[in-house]
Amino acid sequence: MSYKIHILSPELSNKIAAGEVVQRPAAAVKELIENSLDAKATRISVIVRDAGKALIQVVDDGEGMSEQDASLAFRRHATSKIRSAGDLEDIRTLGFRGEALASIAAVSQVELKTRTDADDLATHIRIEGSETIEKSKSALERGTNITVRNLFYNTPARRNFLKTRHTELKNITDVIVRMAIAYPEVEWFYASDDEVMLDLKAVPIDQRVTDVFGKTQFGSMIKFESANELLTANGFLGKPNFARKSRIEQFVFLNRRFIFSRMINHAVFQAYEHLLEKGSFPFFMLNLTIDPKKIDVNVHPSKMEVKFENESNIYRMVLSTVRKALAEHDLIPSMSFRDGNAVSPIDAKIQFSDQSWKRSVIDQNGAPVFPLHPDVRTGDHTAATTPNIIGLEDLHQAASTPDNSLTFDAPASSTSLHRVLGQRSALEQSPAPESRPIWQAHNKYIISQIPSGLMIIDQHAAHERILYERVMANFENTLPSSQQLLFPETVDMGASDYALVKELLPDLVRLGFDMRLFGKNTVVIDGIPADVRIGNEKKILHEVLDEFKNNEHAGVKDVRDNLAKSFACKAAIKAGDRLNMTEMVVLIEHLFLAKVPYVCPHGRPVIVRVPLEELDKRFGRT
Ligand code: ADP
Ligand code: MG
């Protein structure tokens, strides 16, 4: 047990990705912590002064080093972690390069105290610029205590190259946070200039994530887990409405090593597609476990880049795991009566005396449109038929008809909604099915009974989501669905709008605006998208162009995404539009076919759920 460290042969050390490992204090902190974890520490303390420039001290309760090992540890290519080239193919430790301590010792004043179980006294070594200047024995608990003073004292160029104190300290904190969430079973202490930054007990991962990111943020996370024969993946996903404007809170760990991987990040983002506004980034923590033989961490000296043997498999696995987790999870925001959204008795009174509300609950014959009857159709709408979407049972049930008087079993065709929502007048006399648990409130929200309680849909946001997805699909593949105008419409516009139309023309045509440039700032519209009411074409076109410019201004970069958003927003039914039963049912049916039914293209919620338990609690039924 006593002589573990050896110097790698030149043949082997030449196989190790070359490069400087200690460019900044945070890198030294990372290397020292990795050594403590490799030594199976259960307690790690990190103390820094002046953002690590004056002092970095890492103390652990790990295996420690014998005297011989301690003297060897600071030599270049000295390691106990690999022996042969074959070991490089199967790395199970965080370190393996045998360079960190040597690099640190070359540019600082290092003091090492370390003791193994087998030794009575600890070895104490002082090194300055790679020279051993003192060696002695002292008393110490088992473990290792390394103090690094005046980093880069003998390389002024590198010292000057450092960023501001604030930035360097932030880098150190980031390193420690990553380590702390990857190793919840380890106790962590971290202080900077006498200020305690972290003091974490060993706890299960949920508690560690809560301790590090706070209760509120933890509450916004979805926990997930999945495995196949190649890898296991688990972790936490931030709900889209908690997304941030920067990428800081994204963690990928591969075999408990923090890594940067464009490929994996891309897979995660792909899964969040349409749940997020452009330019906002969700929290995620993804732990991947793969057979070390199937990966290569010997790519970059920082060991944060990895090559995978099986890239596309991993990509697909991560994508589908995250997508499934997001889909399975109830992404519908619930309305809790406890969190300040409570409806006060006064509010309730106002609501009940509001005549428009009454009208939509009672139909022309005075019969209630929202009858009290038991849940209908408890049939099995499982993931088999609706693989991508969550809570579809609920949505489906809300739109399903108790009788067979009106069914919409082919809702994928774009015509029914267009017919119903686009040309509403034609349906004015269509018989409204009466006993369906759906009603419209304030000409703005659709309220429906679902098995788990009540569901409230924002009618504008819902229609916007449906139109957005339809337009995006049109851009991708199908021919535009456009209705021809009997008399082509000539539209004069300002020079800048004309220029914009010219630029967007191919996409506008795909969207369904069958148009020609007529010169002199005039365009001719021959046909309009199926969703636009005839007679409204000029207005919608202008509104779409204005919205497009606004979005562009607000940073929406992708032209088609912008156009789809602008069109969806302007062509959708508005708050204030009265809907009849058929329209509401069709809207819900189509919403439930959307890929992402729970958020509108701007990222606002489409659906709010009021859980039955909340109602029961409120009425004292529990
Ligand atoms: P590597 O970690 O790549 O092997 P390092 O230069 O970081 O190279 O460390 C050299 C060796 O010193 C390690 O292989 C390990 O045997 C020993 N060592 C370093 N830090 C510790 C520690 N905190 N506890 C026990 N052994 C350590
Ligand atoms: Mg190391």
Let me know whether 244 and 314 are in one domain.
yes
16-20, 106-110, 443-447, 614-618, range with the lowest pLDDT: 16-20
- Indicate whether 375 and 425 sit together in one domain: yes
Structural domain tally of the chain? 4
CA distances from 283 to 18, 119, 197, 236 (A): 33, 46, 21, 8
Q: Considering the domain boundaries, does residue 546 fall inside one?
A: yes
Is the pLDDT at 581 greater than 80? The verdict is: yes
The pLDDT of residue 277: 66
| 301 touches ligand 1 (CB under 6 Å) | no
3-class secondary-structure state, position 458: strand
Give the pLDDT confidence score for residue 378 in this predicted structure: 26
pLDDT at 28: 97
Q: Does 79 sit in the ligand 1 pocket, CB within 6 Å?
A: yes
Using most ligand atoms within 8 A of CB, pick from 30, 38, 59, 114 the residue to mutate for ligand 1. Answer: 38
In a domain, 345, yes or no: no
User: Quick one: CA dihedral 93, 203, 287, 146, positive or negative?
Assistant: negative
Q: Say which CATH number the domain at 601 has.
A: 3.30.1540.20
- CA-nearest residue for atom 23, ligand 1, is 36
What is the pLDDT, as a whole number, of residue 40? 98
Å from CA of 131 to ligand 2 middle: 20
- Asked if residue 183 is part of any domain, the answer here is yes
Q: Does any ligand 1 atom lie closer than 6 A to the CB of residue 97? A: yes
What is the pLDDT, as a whole number, of residue 398?
Answer: 54
Q: Looking at the structure, do residues 546 and 595 belong to the same domain, yes or no?
A: no
What is the pLDDT of the chain when averaged over all its residues? 81
Which has the higher per-residue pLDDT, 495 or 57? 57
Q: Of 119-133, 359-373, 552-566, where does the model show the most confidence?
A: 119-133
Give the residue, out of 13, 33, 93, 101, with the most ligand 1 atoms within 8 A of its beta carbon, to mutate for a pocket test.
101
What is the structure's pLDDT at 338?
38
Whether residue 164 is contained in a domain is answered as yes
Whether residues 561 and 591 fall in one domain: no
Q: How far apart are the CA of 74 and the centre of ligand 1, in A? A: 9
Q: Does the Cβ of 61 fall within 6 Å of ligand 1?
A: no
Residue 396 scores a pLDDT above 60: no
- Using CA of residue 380, residue 383, residue 386, residue 389, what is the dihedral sign? positive
Do the bridges between strand 187-192 and strand 195-200 make them parallel or antiparallel, or are there none, so unpaired?
A: antiparallel
Q: Residue 100 CA: which ligand 1 atom is closest? A: 6
What local confidence, expressed as pLDDT, does residue 331 receive? Answer: 59
Distance 99 CA to ligand 2 centre (A): 7
d(CA 130, CA 110): 9
Q: Is the CB of 437 under 6 A from ligand 1?
A: no
63 Cβ closer than 6 Å to some ligand 1 atom: yes
Quick one: 39 and 181 in the same domain?
yes
Are 586 and 416 a contacting pair, CB within 8 Å? yes
Pick the residue with more confidence: 41 or 313?
41
pLDDT of residue 74: 96
Which residue has better confidence, 455 or 365?
455
Q: Quick one: which H or E segment has residue 296?
A: strand 295-296
| pLDDT at position 141 | 95
Lowest mean pLDDT among 282-296, 343-357, 492-506: 343-357
Answer yes or no: are the C-beta atoms of 267 and 233 closer than 8 Å: no
- 103 Cα nearest atom in ligand 1: 6
Residue 514, pLDDT above cutoff 80:
yes
Which residue among 60, 71, 75, 79 has the greatest number of ligand 1 atoms within 8 angstroms of its CB, and so is best to mutate?
79
Ligand 1 atom 13, closest CA = 79
Report the separation in Å between the CA atom of 338 and the middle of ligand 1, taken as the mean of its atom positions. Answer: 52
Long-range contacts of range 336-343, CB-CB < 8 Å, 24 or more positions apart? 336/614, 337/614, 337/617, 337/618
Residue of minimum CA distance from atom 1 in ligand 1: 98
Instruction: Report the amino acid identity of residue 300.
Output: H
Residue 282 one-letter amino acid: P
**Ligand of minimum distance to the alpha carbon of 82:** 1
Q: Is the pLDDT reported for residue 347 higher than 50?
A: no
How far does the centroid of ligand 2 lie from the alpha carbon of residue 216, in Å?
36
**Mutational test site, ligand 1, from 30, 35, 107, max ligand atoms within 8 Å of CB:** 35
CB of 33 within 6 A of ligand 1: the answer is no
Q: How far is the CA of 63 from the centre of ligand 2 (A)?
A: 14
pLDDT of residue 256: 97
> Does 27 score more than 50 pLDDT?
yes
Asked if the structure places residue 473 within a domain, the reply is no
Mean pLDDT, range 147-157, rounded to an integer: 94
- What percentage of the chain carries pLDDT values higher than 90? 53
Has residue 432 got a pLDDT over 90?
Answer: no
- In this predicted model, what pLDDT tens digit does every residue of 317-343 receive, in sequence order? 999 899 888 877 755 555 544 333 333
Higher-confidence residue of 430 and 609: namely 609
Q: Would you state the pLDDT for residue 383? A: 26
State whether residue 510 is helix, strand or coil.
Answer: helix
Average confidence (pLDDT) over 571-590: 89
pLDDT at 421: 56
**Residue 62 sits in the same domain as residue 173:** yes
pLDDT at residue 390 tops 50: no
pLDDT above 50 (res 149): yes
How far does the centroid of ligand 1 lie from the alpha carbon of residue 295, in Å? Answer: 22
144: containing domain: 10-206
CATH number, domain containing residue 229: 3.30.230.10
Q: Has residue 23 been placed in a domain?
A: yes
Highest mean pLDDT among 33-47, 220-234, 331-345, 448-462: 33-47
Tell whether the model's pLDDT for residue 492 goes beyond 80.
yes
- 397: pLDDT strictly greater than 60: no
Statement: residue 196 has pLDDT above 50: yes
- CA–CA distance, 45 with 59 (Å, rounded to integer): 5
Q: 21 alpha carbon to ligand 2 midpoint, in Å? A: 10
- CB 31 near ligand 1, within 6 Å: yes
Examine the pLDDT at 254 and tell me if it is beyond 60.
yes
**Residue 367 pLDDT exceeds 80:** no
pLDDT value at 148 more than 60: yes
Across 476-503, average pLDDT: 85
Which three-class secondary structure state does DSSP give residue 607? strand
Ligand that lies nearest to the alpha carbon of residue 45, given by its number in the listed order: 1
- CATH code at position 545: 3.30.1370.100
* Last-in-domain residue among 149, 178, 206: 206
Indicate if 590 and 565 belong to the same structural domain: no
pLDDT average, residue stretch 50-64: 97
Quick check: is 419 in a domain? yes
55, 167: one domain: yes
Most confident of 47-56, 318-327, 415-424: 47-56
Asked if 91 and 297 touch (Cβ cutoff 8 Å), the reply is yes
457 and 587 in a single domain? The answer is: yes
Which ligand 1 atom is the nearest neighbour of the CA of 62?
Answer: 24
143: left (phi over 0), alpha (psi -120 to 50) or beta: left
Proportion of the chain above pLDDT 70, given as a percent: 81
Report if residue 335 sits inside a domain: no
Atom of ligand 1 nearest to the CA of 82: 4
Q: Whose CA is nearest to atom 17 of ligand 1?
A: 73
Q: Are residues 303 and 263 in the same domain?
A: yes
CA distance 422 to 416: 9
Q: pLDDT (tens digit, 9 = 90+) per residue, 67-115?
A: 999 999 999 999 999 999 999 999 999 999 999 999 999 999 999 999 9
pLDDT of residue 168 exceeding 90: yes
User: Whose CA is closest to 236, among 263, 262, 198, 208?
Assistant: 208
234 forms bridges with which residues in the sheet?
225, 287
**d(CA 561, ligand 2 centre) in Å:** 47
Identify the helix (H) or strand (E) that includes residue 524.
strand 522-529
- Tell whether ligand 1 has an atom less than 6 A from the beta carbon of residue 80: yes
Tell how far the Cα of 73 is from the centroid of ligand 1, in angstroms: 6
The answer to whether the CB of 36 is under 6 A from ligand 1 is: yes
Note the pLDDT of residue 436: 60
Give the whole-angstrom CA distance, residue 375 versus residue 70: 72
Q: What is the CATH number of the domain that holds 189?
A: 3.30.565.10
Residues 159 and 238 in one domain: no
Question: What's the pLDDT score for residue 323?
Answer: 85
DSSP β-ladder status, 284-290 and 250-254 = parallel
Residue, of 91 and 453, whose pLDDT is higher: 91
Element spanning 187, H or E? strand 187-192
Regarding whether 169 and 23 lie in a shared domain, the answer is yes
Q: What pLDDT is attached to residue 217?
A: 86
Using the predicted structure, report yes or no on whether residue 587 has a pLDDT greater than 70.
Answer: yes
What pLDDT is attached to residue 523?
93
Q: Tell me the average pLDDT across 223-227.
A: 93
